[in-house]
């Protein structure tokens, strides 16, 4: 076995939604493995600020690029800039998505059940979660095909594998409106798995590996009741810490998973086993 099983030093990784809660963790993990990082996010300033922080320790180079993954021109410009800066694109992490949050700050959002779910919100999620993934894989994939290598990781959720348990979102407080995990999240995340299998087989023989990484819920200042309901539904008995997916991410993004493509790595505290 190779001593440096990851072999990420000097590799170039693009992380979409890189300024978000989990995106930042992934960018830091790549930087700590001495990969160069592109923090691609709609919130350009946050991405640039975070890239500057990563550059602080000097082992890896990071750049932040304002990117709207729903916009073909913006995505192409981001990939062009990454290529001009580093001369290659080895890894794409399709992480940007509209992830409906249920922490204290967003506790009373997501009150639309399926029957009255607005078409506008449906279209918005399809745009960011799916069209975004399509445009980024297309732009980065073109470079990967030319350079004869590449790895794409598509971020999925347990709700792409099983249906949401809506009882989790029943807070029981009659003074507040009932909340739901929306239809869009399940639909777009399920599609991530088909998208992954399509690209893995489409690029068969091209040395481009494409896998999905499925995650369970991360603790983010949710109220006690939610944490209790989530934890009792999880074999490991708790929500994930935001740092707990970095090992899996580095595995699927690196040579450590060199014989893996078209697969779905599930890291969910056992949620989907129950
Ligand atoms: N947080 C969880 O518990 C959890 C669980 C399972 C899966 N996931 C998945 O992990 C990924 C990241 O989740 P998170 O919790 O870090 O979310 P987050 O909301 O903290 O981060 C998402 C990031 O995407 C960016 N973004 C939104 N629209 C964009 C666009 N059009 N173009 C470019 N960037 C855009 C946002 O600015 C934000 O920085 C998502 O795919 C999510 O579905 C999260």
Q: How would residue 104 be classed by pLDDT, with cut points 50, 70 and 90?
A: confident
In a domain, 64, yes or no: yes
Which pLDDT does position 232 carry in this prediction? 97
In a domain, 196, yes or no: yes
In a domain, 5, yes or no: no
CA atoms of 102 and 87, how far apart (whole Å) = 40
In a domain, 83, yes or no: yes
pLDDT digits (tens, 9 = 90+) for 35-52: 999 999 999 999 999 999
In a domain, 69, yes or no: yes
Instruction: Name which of 15, 60, 19 is nearest 38 in CA terms.
Output: 15
Detail the DSSP E strand segments found in 67-180.
Answer: 91-94, 150-157
Q: Does the structure show a pLDDT above 80 at 107?
A: no
The response to whether residue 21 sits with its C-beta less than 6 Å from ligand 1 reads yes
- Give CA separation, 169 vs 115, 190, 245, in Å: 17, 20, 24
Please tell me the least confidently modeled range out of 7-11, 147-151, 174-178, 217-221. Answer: 174-178
Q: Residues with Cβ < 8 Å from 119, sequence gap 6 or more? A: none
In a domain, 146, yes or no: yes
Q: Active site residue: 185, 198, 202, 259, which one?
A: 185
Q: What is the DSSP letter of 11?
A: -
Residue 132 sits in a domain whose CATH number is 3.40.50.720
Domain count along the chain = 1
Q: Does the structure show a pLDDT above 90 at 127?
A: yes
In a domain, 1, yes or no: no
pLDDT averaged over every residue in the chain? 96
Q: What's the pTM?
A: 0.97
pLDDT digits (tens, 9 = 90+) for 12-34: 999 999 999 999 999 999 999 99
The answer to whether 18 and 50 are in contact (CB under 8 A) is yes
pLDDT digits (tens, 9 = 90+) for 188-234: 999 999 999 999 999 999 999 999 999 999 999 999 999 999 999 99
Mutational pocket test of ligand 1: of 18, 21, 212, 241, the residue with most ligand atoms within 8 Å of the beta carbon: 21
Residue numbers of the domain that contains 48: 12-273
In a domain, 2, yes or no: no
The response to whether residue 105 sits with its C-beta less than 6 Å from ligand 1 reads no
Average pLDDT, integer, range 157-183? 92
């Amino acid at each position: 076995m190779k001593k440096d099983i990851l072999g990420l030093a000097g590799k170039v990784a693009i992380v979409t939604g890189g300024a978000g809660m989990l995106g930042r963790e992934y960018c830091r993990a790549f930087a700590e493995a001495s990969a160069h990082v592109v923090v691609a996010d709609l919130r350009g300033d946050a991405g640039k600020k975070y890239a500057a922080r990563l550059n602080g320790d000097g082992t890896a180079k990071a750049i932040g690029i304002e990117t709207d993954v729903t916009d073909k021109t913006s995505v192409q410009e981001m990939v062009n800039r990454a290529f001009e800066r580093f001369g290659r694109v080895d890894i794409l992490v399709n992480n940007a998505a509209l992830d409906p949050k249920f922490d204290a700050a967003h506790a009373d959002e997501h009150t639309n059940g399926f029957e009255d779910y607005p078409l506008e919100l449906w279209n918005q999620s399809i745009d960011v979660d799916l069209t975004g993934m399509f445009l980024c894989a297309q732009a980065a994939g073109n470079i990967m095909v030319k350079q004869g290598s590449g790895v794409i990781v598509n971020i999925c959720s347990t709700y792409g594998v099983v249906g949401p348990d809506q009882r989790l979102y029943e807070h029981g407080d009659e003074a507040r409106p009932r909340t739901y995990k929306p239809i869009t999240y399940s639909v777009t995340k399920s599609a991530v798995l088909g998208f992954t299998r399509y690209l893995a087989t489409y690029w068969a023989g091209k040395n481009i590996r494409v896998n999905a990484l499925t995650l369970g819920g991360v603790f983010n200042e949710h109220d006690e009741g939610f944490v209790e309901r989530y934890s009792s539904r999880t074999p490991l008995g708790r929500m994930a810490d935001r740092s707990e997916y970095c090992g899996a991410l580095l595995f699927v993004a690196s040579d450590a998973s060199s014989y893996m493509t078209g697969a779905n790595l599930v890291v969910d505290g056992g949620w989907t086993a129950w």
